[in-house]
Structure 1
Amino acid sequence: MLAVLSGLAFVGTAVTHMLDDGAICVETDFWQNASLAKEEPLPINKGVDAASSAARLCQESPSVGQRAAELGDGLPWLLFGTLALLLFSRLLKDVMSQGPFTEVVSRRLSAVGWFVTVGTPIAGLVVGWSHSWLVDSMAPIVGLDPTVAGPQALILAGLAAVIMGKIMREGVRMREDLEGTI
C-alpha cells in the first residue's frame, strides 16, 4: 500500500510540477564566496536572479527543459524509494506466506540488495546531472562537472542484503539436504 501511495505521489509530483508556471530555483556552492559587484557581474543568463550569500539561482520564466531538470533534482529518489518499497513488500509477503528460510525469500532478498546497490548510484547520477545541467542553463560555467548526489551509504546496505541472500540460499540448501538425509 505504501509503495502504491509513493507511486501516486511520484506521478502527481511530476504532473503538477511540469504544469506549474512559477519560477524555479537551484542552489549551488560554486559561487559561495563570490561577490555580486556591479563592475564584474557573474556570468548569468537573462532572467536569472542570483544571490551570492545563499548561492542560489532563480529563473523567472523557465524553459520546459529547465523545469524537467529541476524535477530531476528530487524525483529520482522518490522513484527509487517507491520501487525499493515495492520490492521489499513482495519480500515481506513471501516471508509471511512461506517462512523466512525458503529459496524464494533468499532470491527476493538478493533482488532487493542488488536493486539498492545498483539503483543508489544511478539515482544519484541522475540527480547530479539534472542539478548540474540546471545550474549550467542559468549560469554557463566552463568546467562544472556533475556530481553523484544522495546517500551513497545505501550501497553498503544493498551489498549486505545481497550477501545475506546468498547466506540464506546456502542455509536453505543445507536444510533440504538434511531433510533428504533424515
Structure 2
Amino acid sequence: MNTRLTSVLTSVTFALAVLCGIVFLGTGVTHLLDDGAVCVRTEFWHNASLGDALPVGEGVKVSSSTTRMCQDSPSAGQRAADLGGQLPWLLFGALALLLFSRMLETVRREGPFTEAVARRLSVLGWFVAVGTPLAGLVAGWSRSWLVGSMAPMVGSGPTVSGPQVLVLAGLAAVVMAKIMREGVRMREDLEGTI
C-alpha cells in the first residue's frame, strides 16, 4: 500500500472539506448581511408568451426570457428560502469530504482491509445515500417556496434538486463495506486456524 499517496489524498480531501465548510459559513454570513435582491430561476413560463401580464407579486422583476425572477426588497422568509437553496449542498459536500478524509486516514494507519475501514466506508455510504435526497429535498423545497412567494399564481409542490444518482453511489459503498467486513472476518478466521 502506497502510504505516501494515501497521506496526500487524505490531506487534500481534508483541505477540501475545510474549504467547503468555510464556503458554507461565508455564504451564510454574507447572505444574512446582504440587503440586495433575491433571484430565482423557474421554468414555469419558459414556453409561454404572456408579455408583460405575468402573475407576479409586487416588486418582482421578471427577465425577458421569463425564467428568472428577482425580488428587490425580499422578506426574511424569501431570504431564508434563497439561502436554503444553496446551503444544504455545501454542508453535504463538506461533511461527505470530511467522512471520506477520515476513512482515508484509517486506511493509511491500519491498512485497507480492516474492520475500521469497512465501518467508515459504511458510514460514508449511508451518509451519501440518505443525505443526497435530504439535501435535495431541502434545496428543492426552498426554491419552490421562493418561486411561489414571488408568483402566487404558480402552484408548484416541493421538488427534489441535485444529483440524486449519488444515492446509488452511497448504496454501492454500503455494499462494498459489507463485502469488506466479510473479507476481514474470513481472513481473521483463516489466521486463527493456522
Worse overlay, 41-50 or 124-133:
41-50
Structure 2: distance between partners of 1:52 and 1:66: 22
| 1:132 corresponds to 2:144 | yes
Aligned length: 180
| 1:154 corresponds to 2:166 | yes
Structure 1: distance between partners of 2:50 and 2:72: 19
Query: TM-score of the superposition, structure 2-length normalised?
Result: 0.89
Cα pair 2:36 2:73 within 8 Å, conserved: yes
Worse overlay, 118-127 or 51-60:
51-60
Worse overlay, 92-101 or 27-36:
27-36
Q: CA deviation at 1:52?
A: 4.8
Q: Indicate the RMSD between aligned Cα atoms, in angstroms.
A: 1.2
Structure 1: distance between partners of 2:108 and 2:153: 54
User: For each residue in 1:97-147, what CA deviation from the matched residue of structure 2 results, as whole angstroms up to 9, or x when unmatched?
Assistant: 000111000000010000000000000000110000000110113531121
Structure 1: distance between partners of 2:57 and 2:40: 14
Among 22, 40, 43, the alignment partner of 1:8 is 22
User: Runs of at least 4 residues of structure 1 off by over 3 A?
Assistant: none
Q: Which runs of 5+ in 2 are unaligned?
A: 1-14
| 1:28 corresponds to 2:42 | yes
Worse overlay, 47-56 or 92-101:
47-56
Among 113, 119, 123, the alignment partner of 2:131 is 119
Partner SS for 1:49: strand
Letter in 1 for 2:17: A
Structure 2: distance between partners of 1:125 and 1:141: 22
Partner SS for 2:18: helix
Cα pair 1:34 1:52 within 8 Å, conserved: no
Q: CA deviation at 1:54?
A: 4.2
Structure 2: distance between partners of 1:5 and 1:151: 21
The aligned runs of 1:1-182 (5 Å cut-off) are 1-38=15-52, 41-141=53-153, 143-182=155-194
Cα pair 1:115 1:158 within 8 Å, conserved: yes
Structure 1: distance between partners of 2:66 and 2:103: 44
Structure 1: distance between partners of 2:164 and 2:41: 20
Cα pair 1:112 1:158 within 8 Å, conserved: yes
Q: Which runs of 5+ in 1 are unaligned?
A: none
Cα pair 1:117 1:154 within 8 Å, conserved: yes
